Structure 1
Amino acid sequence: MTAELLRLARYWGYRVAVAESCTGGMVGAALTEVAGSSDMFDRGFVTYSNQAKIDMLGVPEALLAEFGAVSEAVAAAMAEGALAHSTADLAVSTTGIAGPGGSEFKPEGRVCFGLAVKGKAVVVETVEFGALGRDRVRKAARDHALELLLRAMA
């Protein structure tokens, strides 16, 4: 999938940024596994803490207080912040609960994604991967984020 992303990014002249929380850099790592990825990958932000989201991406503290880090509102702000703090044309964000744990309101396996493309409205979605275990939730979130980027370029 990353080779196809690189091909499409080169074709369209796109640069990509990522803003990651629960995936902890896995999306950026996947994008850079392909030789030549510097043609498309601008930068990645690993913003695991709320303070990092505020400092590095400009996520409003009030947004975090009102909705919590695992929310579509914060996912959107993360993706927008990645665009604003980079030279990228599109950015994807991940924020979720990989587990173990969670709550009745935010269960284990819930991941919110944001996709920001310059000149377009941010798209957000929440995927309930379920209590697959931390490693499998993180890998599923990584793959879904890559799929979002691929769909945005196709």
Structure 2
Amino acid sequence: MNNYKEKQLEKSAEHYAKKVFKVIAAIVFGAIVFGLAIYVLMRLWNWLTPELWGWSTLTYWQALGLFVLAKIIFGFGGEGACKPKKGKKNKKKWKMKCDMRNDFSDWKLYDEFWTVEGEAAFKRYIENHKKRHHENEQKQS
């Protein structure tokens, strides 16, 4: 019985040691990839912008700042707004939102609508607007 508990503890410790090692390796790998991405950004900037637009070159730390600024302005990517995260409730609600957001298939008919109905509807609107504006002027005088 005692031997069984020792094996259980050994397996458990081995399992957690592997987990810790994987987490540390992932953090180190992520830091290396991130540092490399900043370096590539700096090299591309220093290769292209001075010659194309006459802008100055960047140091590594300026490239890091530019990268962070771009991420703040343009977003951090990830799964996106239309993919519910694990365990997210109301998946139907998410799907409906995304279907509405990504359904651009009807827009291909916009030009046809405008030539058939849009111009005439817009002209009627302008005429009605002028009439209302003219009536308001008459009421005020």
In which range does the TM-score fall when normalised by the shorter chain? under 0.3
Query: Highest CA radius of gyration, 1 or 2?
Result: 2
TM-score, structure 1 length as denominator?
A: 0.18
TM, length-normalised to structure 2? 0.19
Structure with the bigger percentage of helix: 2
Of structures 1 and 2, the one with the larger relative CO (CA 8 A, separation 6+) is: 1
Q: Which has the larger strand fraction?
A: 1
